[in-house]
Structure 1
């Protein structure tokens, strides 16, 4: 958890800088807000006429825009932003002359709060958009200076000649009665704005949007440094929009009425001509009603065809019966014809008589022979009846054939009537179509004429100002709370960025995690900031025990403590380890290699007794240069054999005998300081170990987890500086 929060430590250490930056940014923002010009905003809401509902959709007022389509909200917004409408709105507001009260740092627009009223009478174009400085004295004398420093003098109420232009400068009596505390004698700035500049100022502050895409309501917002000015223009623009709508509607309606009158007269003449053509064609072709006449003839032909069909079926049946009877005439009694097509009563009675005679003959044949008179008489009767029946069938067939031919002739004659019908119908359709076109046009134009005349007479608009703009009491910008808060936050981020940059440029070891991420050499000890002797004693005794358990520390062993600088904790850790070993009644040799010279003629090695178990040996680095590496290493081995522990405070990396001393040691501790050792040196330890094959190399981190307060370090730095000055003094 601590390792994951290591990145926070530089910011915790630099919290005074962060707080100071936030306070400074807050103060700067507060100072800025004292001089910035506040902006006020007022909003008016305009509801557009909805042609799909309400009064505009009634029969009387329907489509008062004559041929206008449903209004597009975006189109109306662009119309409100147009040069034409803004120009009309500017005619309703006194925006031509701007008056400012001039201050040492900023200027304040007065508008209707100005104690003086400046009215240009004849103002040349070359003097428009030019700023003039107006000074009014206590006795109401005035002095006007232009940008070229030309001076024009006068008195309140006079008409002042400025170059070749005239302007009246007088007191605002109405305002001064209401606010008699207003100061008149002061420094002012005024400008007579051209129309283009007024429009550019309006465009810079106006915002026109739709409340919702499905709701025909437009919101007109305007920002200005004066609240009265901000409230006045949205209302003026909405009024100008409605007036322009009515004006355009009336003009369109007037033009439309004239156009419709001309078209109606033209269509009326063509309609009369079409009526006369239809009448003449009917008279020439004796047409009353083609449709009814045709329907009557068709109905008659249909009935005839039904009769023809029935006759044809009866005729076909009787033909089949006649053919059947004629083919079996010799054996008539053996025939079994179908008499469905021949069903009159006489034929039925004849069939019955034939059947009775057949039965009677069968009975007679039981008693008599074929040649008996009774049998012969019966055969004669049967022969007469069958001949009669066959002749009757033939006559019936002839009669049906005659009727069928007659019906076919009648149908053919009736159908001749329809030969001329298509042409008559085509001509009548053409004539009626032309007549209907002219009639529809005539009716449509008359209806539109009525609507246009209503629109011309009714000078009203269904657009409404549903929310007029009111004077805002609070400015919308600058937002003081947000600006101060954002300034403080920016100050915080700026300070944090500065701390981050300094921390990265400084590039110190900082913590155990940064060492482990940059080096493969294990950390043997992470020495915290120890405040007193008891903490030092406990920590280093614990460290010796841990090293012995891990097998790092053995009897008669040389432990070499090396670093890139002695200030990085080399001497401190080596001496404390020697003290801890001494407390355990070990015989300790603390050997320190110093760069300072010793007395001439002395040996390179000298000893001094610290206590009964600790001997401090001092080696002169300059004298050591006269000793070979082999002799030096043998010397160290000999000394180590005389003591339980030999602890060497080695020279810094880069010195001549630093690596030789480390090679002769059984344990090499490279000391790093979290506040002093550059992080880039960590990898160098790995390279040195690999290149020179140094035995048992471990790292010791001095002041691990130490994150001193910036205030404390500043105090210490000041105290150190004072001590230095005292010594010099």
Structure 2
């Protein structure tokens, strides 16, 4: 007997969640295989992208990479400084101007392709012909791409078509022609063709039949290259740049990077030469003007000195000026010492006894020594006077010494003041004498000095311009490139896009996620029961008799003698569990089992017939009654000549003369099984079941049989089942997986709680083998031959 949900060990929520997905493992395998095949097809026909890398060193970033615009005038510093950073060079390398030149040099705006079975493949360097545009720069102004098809018809001729396969005409190699107002020229390329679908390997067959050519606007090609070009500094503080470019051709990526570096250097050299030439011209013009000014000044000085009979008085005047400056300094020093001596004298002449300044700047060592001794005596006097009277002999002795030393210092100061006054008078006389000499220098000499000063300025400018002239000449002769190539462009062997491992990994993940997503979304919106677990969650107190497996279309839906099928084993389990419930009823009389469901189509008739059949095979005499007199279905299992018109329950309830033996049909498949069909469909089935004749029917059945099974009507649709349920001992309630709504289980629960159904136990019909619970999916095949994986997969999809 199966236990209810409250008494059963439940799996962990995580394992339960995983099992909901793992039981669909064939779908996961199928999805993964399909996505991996899709990934293989994508990689087979996707356009590979290769990445080429080049490294350059930007030289002299602070000076602009060489001879800058103002380098020749840098020492003059009249226009400020000009610095060129690595970031500026990155923008120059990415400029449309340089990339346009590369596109023009390599004819990148003209693409060649051949048509394949699945897609077209482009050619580079190995195209059998070369198209040249004769109109200057017309491809710069094309509004959109222009396409054409060329068909080779010989060594000298070819046919020209537009993209709509309209023939334009036959043209000759090497002879110009016009196509959509563009003058073109086609020349044969003397190289072997390449099979674009054979990894770039040379094709021994140089013949070709058709070739597609596209002329794209230069601006579009430039923008495409610019979008795939990545330039960055290798080191944050360095000036090494790493250039990366993605393209479907390795050689084209390498050519573009190498040519871009070449064009960058050529452009920088051109700029430097233009600047150097303009600078040289400017310096030459200034030199001519300065040369004239310098010559005029020198001739003016010569004429002036000659006419005025002047000698070199500049040196003499400089000597006098130097002498005057020295004497003036000595006079200032003498006046300073005189002021100090007079101030010190005034301080000593005061009547009070106080300290005097020491080392005040006088050069007389006697005064300095006397001043120090005087201050010591004063300090000692002041200290004794605090603790003694005026009559103290020591204090009087100190006072006498102080007075004597003061007189000596005053005498010395008088001598010093006299000496300083004498020296000062002498210096003033000498200063007046020198000043007189300076004032007597002729005014013509001062004019001469002004002229000489102008000459020196002009001469310095002349020398500087001559030096810059030589620097500019050297710069014109030696023009080093701005970028030093550290590594030439080199493309990696393997493509950077698409990455095979990432694509396969993405397909693998998608192969798992798609069924997971589908199953998850389905679980959200799917409201049908799937297994006994759904019943246990919503009807935890109701017993579950068992599960009936989902049958294949070609499988019979009834059991036979000695049947070892999954269907037979499932009903044997139901019989065993049902027997437990019947034995629990303490009554010796025959038991009645009523089989019902919520709605039509849940398998009541199949379940009731097989339950009766299973009990009958066990040796019991069983009567199966067709209790659904509104929509009878039991005749399908009775005999070949039975139908809905065959007499049965309806006739028994209506006609009192009929007995049970008159209406019972003996089963041809089971000797212990009798069947009482529903009979004709009456207009008032509910009223028929309410008659006393109903009780007589069940009493008669119990007296003649060991077990009575009733195939009744759905409970939610009609009231018939509720009317006869009082005669039943056990109610077997049938639900159907993937059919019965979970919301209908609420009706079942309410009906049981209301007591309208007696001793209810649930049977889950049409359950997939993967959804069976409690190991039944293993037990049902016990003793059978083990199926291989292919058989299991086929069975799953069936």
TM-score range, shorter chain: 0.5 to 0.7
2:210 is equivalent to residue 187 of structure 1: yes
1:551-590 correspondence runs (5 A)? 559-564=593-598, 568=602, 570-571=604-605
Match of 1:233 among 256, 280, 295: 256
Gaps of 5+ in 1: 274-278, 325-330, 349-392, 417-434, 719-729
Q: CA distance change for structure 1 residues 86 and 297 in 2, over 3 Å: closer, same or farther?
A: farther
Residue 173 of structure 1 aligns to a residue whose secondary structure is coil
Q: Secondary structure at the match of 1:699?
A: strand
Richer in helix (by share): 1
Q: 1:27-46 CA distances to partner (integer Å, 9 max, x unpaired)?
A: 45544555444444322222
Local SS of the residue matching 2:219: helix
Instruction: Work out whether 1:685 is the aligned partner of 2:705.
Output: no
TM-score by length of 2: 0.61
Partner of 1:593: 627
| Corresponding residue of 1:603 | 652
Query: Residues 288 and 677 from structure 1, CA distance in 2 versus in 1: closer, same or farther, beyond 3 angstroms?
Result: same
Structure 1 residues 553 and 571: alpha-carbon distance in aligned structure 2, compared to 1, 3 A threshold:
farther
Secondary structure, counterpart of 2:113 in structure 1: strand
Pairing 1:109–2:119 present? no
Would the aligned equivalents of 1:136 and 1:143 in 2 still touch at CA under 8 Å?
yes
Asked if structure 1 preserves the Cα contact closer than 8 Å seen for 2:149 and 2:211, the reply is yes
SS in 2 for 1:599: coil
TM-score, reference length from structure 1: 0.66
Q: Secondary structure at the match of 1:460?
A: coil
1:125 to 138, 145, 168: 138
Counterpart-to-counterpart distance in 1, 2:759 and 2:423 = 133
- The 5 A counterparts of 1:345-424 are none
- State the alpha-carbon separation in 2 of the partners of residues 294 and 301 from structure 1: 11
Deviations 1:416-443, CA, capped at 9 Å, x for gaps: 9xxxxxxxxxxxxxxxxxx9xx99x989
1:133-175 deviations in whole A, cap 9, x for unaligned? 2111145421123458352323344444557665443332365
1:513 & 1:448 partners in 2: Cα distance? 98
Report the equivalent of 2:53: 43
Please list the CA deviations of residues 343-369 of structure 1 after superposition, one character each: whole Å capped at 9, or x if unmatched.
399x79xxxxxxxxxxxxxxxxxxxxx
Conserved 8 A contact 2:545-2:763:
yes
In structure 2, distance between residues paired with 1:683 and 1:448: 103
Matched with 2:188 is: 171
Identify which of 687, 703, 714 aligns with 1:652.
714
Deviation string for 1:289-312 (max 9, x for gaps)? 999788766765665566556545
Judged with a 3 Å threshold, the aligned counterparts in structure 2 of structure 1 residues 110 and 599 are, in CA distance, closer, same or farther, namely closer
Residue 405 of structure 2 is aligned to residue 343 of structure 1? no
Kept after mapping to 1: 8 A contact 2:284/2:469:
yes
**Corresponding position of 2:776:** none
Mean Cα displacement is larger for which, 92-101 or 600-609? 600-609
Deviation at 1:233, TM superposition (A): 0.7
Deviation at 1:685, TM superposition (A): 1.9
Post-superposition offset of 1:656: 3.4
Deviations 1:12-35 (A, max 9, x none): 555444444444444455445554
Matches within 5 A, 1:98-497: 98-103=111-116, 105-122=118-135, 125=138, 129-138=145-154, 140-146=156-162, 149=166, 151-160=168-177, 162=179, 166-173=183-190, 181-255=204-278, 288=322, 303=337, 307=341, 311=345, 314-316=348-350, 337-340=395-398, 342-343=400-401, 455=475, 457-470=477-490, 474-480=494-500, 482-483=502-503, 486-487=506-507, 489-491=509-511, 493-497=513-517
C-alpha RMSD over aligned residues? 6.0
Classify the secondary structure of the residue corresponding to 2:160: strand
- Deviation string 1:664-694 (CA, Å, 9 cap, x unpaired) is 5454442223344333422332344456754
Report the equivalent of 2:535.
515
* Cα distance change on mapping 1:337 and 1:227 into 2, 3 Å: closer
Residues 636-645 or 305-314, more deviating: 636-645
Instruction: Report which of the two structures shows the higher radius of gyration computed on alpha carbons.
Output: 1
Give 1:603 shift.
0.8
Paired residues of 1:606 and 1:618 also in contact (CA < 8 A):
no
Question: CA separation of 1:301/1:164 partners in 2, compared to 1, >3 Å: closer, same or farther?
Answer: same
1:306 & 1:505 partners in 2: Cα distance?
Answer: 113
Post-superposition shift, 1:657? Answer: 0.5
Tell me the equivalent position of 2:690.
629
Question: Are the equivalent residues in 2 in contact too, given 1:592–1:650 (CA < 8 A)?
Answer: yes
SS at match of 1:468: strand
Structure 2 unaligned runs (5+)? 1-10, 195-200, 298-312, 355-376, 382-388, 429-453, 550-563, 633-643, 654-658, 772-788
1:93 maps to 2:106 = yes
Return the alpha-carbon distance in structure 1 between the equivalents of residues 463 and 714 of structure 2: 110
Distance 1:155 1:78 in 2: 44
What's the CA shift for 1:263? 9.3
**What is the Cα deviation at residue 9 of structure 1?**
5.4
Contact residue 66 and residue 452 of structure 1 kept, 8 A: no
